[in-house]
Amino acid sequence: MASSSSFITEVFRIGPLTITNTVVVTWGIMLVLTAAAWAATRHLGLSPGRWQVMVEGIVAAIEEAIRAVLPDHYRQVMPFIATLWIFIVVANLVSLIPGLRSPTGDLSLTAGLAILVFLAVHWYGIRSHGLKSYLRHYLQPNPILLPFHLISEITRTVALAVRLFGNIFSLQMAALLVLLVAGFLAPVPVLMLHIIEALVQAYIFGMLTLIYVAGAIQSQQLKHNQKKE
């Protein structure tokens, strides 16, 4: 782990836009994931091979996890949630490759993902119940709770961004410090912890997103069902 790769650096500029190593690594991840997806699904057949079984297993597991939370809308939210999981896992683990830095250790990226989650929650909520019906849930059970709802929307978005950024950044810093203090092989246990932490943080981010989206969709749905009954 070179010290230069552990921090956000400018790679090049396009006019007024500054392209950092976070964006470049993200593009690399996107390229690798797209190429892997294309290679994995190029020769899909009804009699699957080992590689197809593994890919189908991953997709089916993600789909099943989403279906467990949102049984009626899992197809609708699956691309977004699944991409969050896959991208964050790969982005968290990419720092294990020497010379690369996890883009999730950049607050700009985690904030962007958190903003996307914030927008997606409202997008799915409005898409499911309409704008008025969706906005009405901020006034329930009592309009006096509206400020708290608004504060909750902001804080949970900020928490998403900061939680992922803080954990990954701190892990990278801890690994760098241990490497500097202890020597060549000492950071290995820390790197193993990094793997676990990367998977856990990806899972937490995706699952929280799923719960937020499900809350937006099902809060109005439950009220509709109660009215029908």
Report the C-alpha dihedral over residues 74, 206, 216, 151, rounded to 10 degrees: 180
Is 102 a residue that touches another protein (CB under 8 A)?
no
CB 124 within 8 A of CB 213: yes
- Measured CA to CA, the distance from residue 216 to residue 160 in angstroms comes to 17
Is 74 a residue that touches another protein (CB under 8 A)?
no
Both tokens assigned to 24? 């470049």
19: β partners = 12
The piece of 19-27, 140-148, 181-189, 218-226 that touches another protein (CB under 8 A) is: 19-27
CB 105 within 8 A of CB 197: no
CB 91 within 8 A of CB 103: yes
Is 89 a residue that touches another protein (CB under 8 A)?
no
Contact pattern for another protein over residues 136 through 175, marking x by CB under 8 A:
-----------------------------x---x------
Which 3 state secondary structure label does DSSP give 229?
Answer: coil
Is 131 a residue that touches another protein (CB under 8 A)?
no
Residue 93 CB coordination number (10 Å): 18
Map the footprint of another protein across residues 53-72, applying CB under 8 A.
Answer: 55-56, 59-60, 63
Is 208 a residue that touches another protein (CB under 8 A)?
no
Give the distance, in angstroms, between the CA of residue 71 and the centroid of all CA atoms in the same chain. Answer: 21
Is 103 a residue that touches another protein (CB under 8 A)?
yes
The correct pick among 5, 67, 76, 107 for binding another protein (CB under 8 A) is: 107
Is 220 a residue that touches another protein (CB under 8 A)?
no
In the complex, the smallest distance separating the C-beta of residue 75 from another protein, rounded to whole angstroms, is 8
CB 90 within 8 A of CB 33: yes
Q: Which residues bind another protein (CB under 8 A)?
A: 8, 17-20, 22-23, 26-27, 30, 33-34, 37-38, 40-41, 44-46, 48, 52, 55-56, 59-60, 63, 78-80, 82-83, 86-87, 103, 106-109, 111-113, 115-116, 165, 169
